[in-house]
Structure 1
Amino acid sequence: MLANVKQSIKTFFIAAPACLLSYSTLAQETVTDRWGVNMPVGVTPVSREIHGLHMDIFWWCVGIGVVVFGVMFYTMIAHRKSRGAKASNFHESTALEILWTIIPFAILIVMAVPATSSLIKIYDTEEADVDIVITGYQWKWKYEYLGKDVSFFSNLSTPNAEIYNQAEKNPNYLLEVDEPLVIPTHKKVRFLITANDVIHAWWVPDLAVKKDAIPGFINESWTYVEEPGIYRGQCAELCGKDHGFMPVVVVAMAENDYNQWLGERQAMAAKMKELTEKNFSFDELMELGQTVYNTNCAACHQPNGQGVPPTFPAIAGSAVATGAIAGHMDMVVHGSKKNPAMQAFGEQLSEAQLAAVITYQRNSFGNNMGDSLQPIDVLKYKESN
C-alpha cells in the first residue's frame, strides 16, 4: 500500500509541473503582446475577429470604468464634508432611474450585435471541404478523415529523458507528437469531436478552436487556415494521470502538399490491410510489438512491464500474459470489465499491431511463453466475437 502511495505521489510531481510547463510554453508561443497576458490573435479569419471583438469590448469597458470611477472620485473629493458640503435629501428621481437603465441597456445592445455576428460564424459548420472526426482517448487523439479511408492515432513524442529531467528540454517540450493532424490551407475544415472514455477537450489557440470531447456526444467546430504552418495545442480538460501528456499538433499544408500527403496515407492504409494476410516471422512480431507497446502500453504498464499495481498491473509474470493466448487476446481487444483503466484496443490498433503486441508481451519481461499470433488469427477472432 505504501509503495502505491509513493508511486502516486511520484506520478503527481512529474505530471503536474509538466502540465503547467507545457501550458506556459504554449502561452509564450501564441501570445503576441509584450506582457504575455492577452489572448492570441490566431491565424484564421474567425480567430482574428474574436481577438478584435475582445479588444473592442475591453477598451469599451476601460472607457466605462474611467467615466464611472471618475465621476465617483470627483464627487467624493469635490463634495467632501471638510469643504462644508451637505448631503442632499431626496427620495427618488424617476428621470435618473430611467437614465441609468437606458444607458447600460444601450451599451449591452452595442456589444451584443458584433458578438452575435461572431458567434454565428463560430457555429456555422456547414459546407465544409474536409470532415475530420477527432476522438479523445486516455491519453492520445485519434483522427479519422471521413470518406478518405485514412485514420491514425496521435501520441506524445517527447522523450522520457526530458520528462524525467535526464536531458535538456526542447522548445516544444510536451507539445510534440508522432503523428500530427494535417489539414489543407484555404479550405473549410470541419471537426467532429467526441471521446472514447472520459471527457477531454481539443484546444488549439491559434485556430480559435476549443471544444469538449464527450463520450456519446459529437461537438462540431471548424477552421479555415490561410497560411501553411504548425499550430500546437493541448487537451484542456483534466482527464486522468497523463492529462499533461496529451498534446495537439496541427500542420496546415498548401493544397498540393496536402493532397500528396493524403495519397501517401491512403497507400499506407491499404498496405496495413494487406499485412493482415501476411505471416510474420517471430522476430518481426517482436520488433513491431515493442514499438506498439512503447507507444500504447508503456504509459500505464511501464517500459519494463512492472506496471503500477493495483490500477495498472504488471505484464511481467501476469496471469493474463502467461495464461491462455485466447484470454490474452480477449483482454487486449475488448478491454477489462473488472478494471476500466484497461482500454479496448480492438479499434485502436490494426490486426498486425494487435498480433505483434500480444506476442511481445508474452515473450518479454521474463515471460518467455514461446508462442505467437498472426494478424489473420486476430481478424478471425474479431469476426467471431
Structure 2
Amino acid sequence: MKRIFSKLAATLLVASAWAGTVAFTAAQAVSDLPGGPAVRQLNLHPPVTKIAEEQVWLHWFMLILCTAIFVAVFTVMFYSIWKHRKSVGHKSANFHESVTVEIVWTIVPFVIVILMALPATKVVVAMKDTTNADLTIKVTGMQWKWGYDYLKGEGEGIGFLSALDRTQREMSNDGGPKAGEQVEDYLLKVDHPMVVPVNKKIRLITTANDVIHSFMIPSFGIKQDAIPGFVRDTWFRAEKIGDYHGQCVELCGKEH
C-alpha cells in the first residue's frame, strides 16, 4: 500500500511540474492584449468608461467589506472557542435571550446592507439610463456573428455583419494555434469591428434572430442579453481611443 501511495505521489508531482512548465511556457509566449485580457490577469479589465470605473470601485469596496466582516466574525468565534474551552476549566453558562444583543445584531447588519446597497443602486441606475444618446446602434446576435445597424446619429443607415476573422476560424477548426505559434488575439479578432466615436454616449439595442446571446465588452462595463423576440438596451461612453474586445457570454452553440 505504501508503495502504491509513493508511486501515486511521485506521479502527481511529475504531473504538477509538467503542468507548471506548460503554463509558464504558454504565459511567456503571449503578452497583454490591449483592450482585452492580460497575462495572469486577476483583476477586472482596465476600465475605459465611467461606469466601468465605478464597477471596479464597487467590486473592491464589496470585497474589502465582506473580507473585514469575515475576519471579524471568525476571529471572535475562534477566540471564544479557544479562550473558553472546557479543558481549562470553563463551564457552559445557562442564560436566556438578550434584548440588547438582538437589537445590536439586527441594526448592525441593516446598516452594513444599506452601506452596500446605496453605491450599488447608484451604479445600476446609471447603467440603465440610456436616454439622450448621441448614437444608437442595433446589435443582433446570431449563430455565429453579430449584426450592427446604425439607427440614429453619426453613421446612420450603415449596417453590416461582424464574424470571427477567417484565419482564426480556420485555426480554431484545426484545433487552435500550433505549438510555439504566437497569436495575441486568438478567437477575439473579427473581420468587421463596430466603430464608434469617443466621448459620445452610445446606446446599444440588443436582440437576436435565433437563440439567446449576450453582448459583453468588459472594458466598457457592459453586458446585455440578446433574446429572440425581445429588445433590451444598454449604453457606454468610451473615453480612450483603442481596440476593445467583446465576446458573446451566453452559450449559443458550437462556435460560441
Q: TM-score range by the shorter chain?
A: 0.7 to 0.9
Equivalent residue, structure 2, for 1:272: none
Equivalent residue, structure 1, for 2:12: none
Partners of 1:31 and 1:69 in 2: CA distance:
35
Matched, 1:107 2:112: yes
Equivalent residue, structure 1, for 2:8: none
- 1:22-50 deviation per Cα after TM superposition (whole angstroms, max 9, x unaligned): xxx9x976457x86332224210110011
Equivalent residue, structure 2, for 1:91: 96
Asked if structure 1 preserves the Cα contact closer than 8 Å seen for 2:177 and 2:183, the reply is no
After superposition, residues 265-280 of structure 1 pair within 5 angstroms as none
Aligned equivalent of 2:208, options 195, 214, 230: 195
- Number of residue pairs the alignment of both structures matches: 219
Q: Name the TM-score, length of structure 1 as normaliser.
A: 0.54
Q: Which has the higher contact order (CA 8 A, sep 6+)?
A: 2
- 1:294-334 deviation per Cα after TM superposition (whole angstroms, max 9, x unaligned): xxxxxxxxxxxxxxxxxxxxxxxxxxxxxxxxxxxxxxxxx
After superposition, residues 40-55 of structure 1 pair within 5 angstroms as 40-55=45-60
**Structure 1 or 2: larger helix share?**
1
Asked if structure 2 preserves the Cα contact closer than 8 Å seen for 1:155 and 1:177, the reply is yes
Equivalent residue, structure 1, for 2:144: 139
- 1:140-184 deviation per Cα after TM superposition (whole angstroms, max 9, x unaligned): 000000141100000111414422147535110110111000010
After superposition, residues 253-272 of structure 1 pair within 5 angstroms as none
Q: Is the partner of 1:231 in helix, strand or coil?
A: coil
After superposition, residues 325-340 of structure 1 pair within 5 angstroms as none
Equivalent residue, structure 2, for 1:172: 185
Give unpaired runs (5+ residues) of structure 2.
Answer: 1-25
- 1:99-142 deviation per Cα after TM superposition (whole angstroms, max 9, x unaligned): 11111001001111111111111000000000000001111000
Equivalent residue, structure 2, for 1:36: 41
Equivalent residue, structure 1, for 2:165: 157
After superposition, residues 368-379 of structure 1 pair within 5 angstroms as none
Give unpaired runs (5+ residues) of structure 1.
Answer: 1-20, 244-385
Q: Is the partner of 1:131 in helix, strand or coil?
A: strand
Asked if structure 1 preserves the Cα contact closer than 8 Å seen for 2:135 and 2:200, the reply is yes
Q: Name the TM-score, length of structure 2 as normaliser.
A: 0.80
Partners of 1:180 and 1:51 in 2: CA distance:
26
After superposition, residues 337-352 of structure 1 pair within 5 angstroms as none
Asked if structure 1 preserves the Cα contact closer than 8 Å seen for 2:136 and 2:202, the reply is yes
**Displacement of 1:221 after TM fit?**
0.3
Asked if structure 1 preserves the Cα contact closer than 8 Å seen for 2:148 and 2:194, the reply is yes
Matched, 1:211 2:218: no
Partners of 1:125 and 1:161 in 2: CA distance:
38
Q: Is the partner of 1:85 in helix, strand or coil?
A: coil
Q: Is the partner of 1:183 in helix, strand or coil?
A: coil
**Displacement of 1:93 after TM fit?**
1.2
Identity of aligned residues (%): 44
**Displacement of 1:78 after TM fit?**
0.7
Decide which structure has the larger Cα Rg and report it. 1
Aligned equivalent of 2:66, options 61, 67, 70: 61
Aligned equivalent of 2:247, options 234, 239, 264: 234
Which one-letter code corresponds to 2:195 in the other structure? V
Residues 92 and 184 (structure 1), Cα distance of their counterparts in 2 relative to 1, 3 Å cut: same
Partners of 2:196 and 2:144 in 1: CA distance:
22
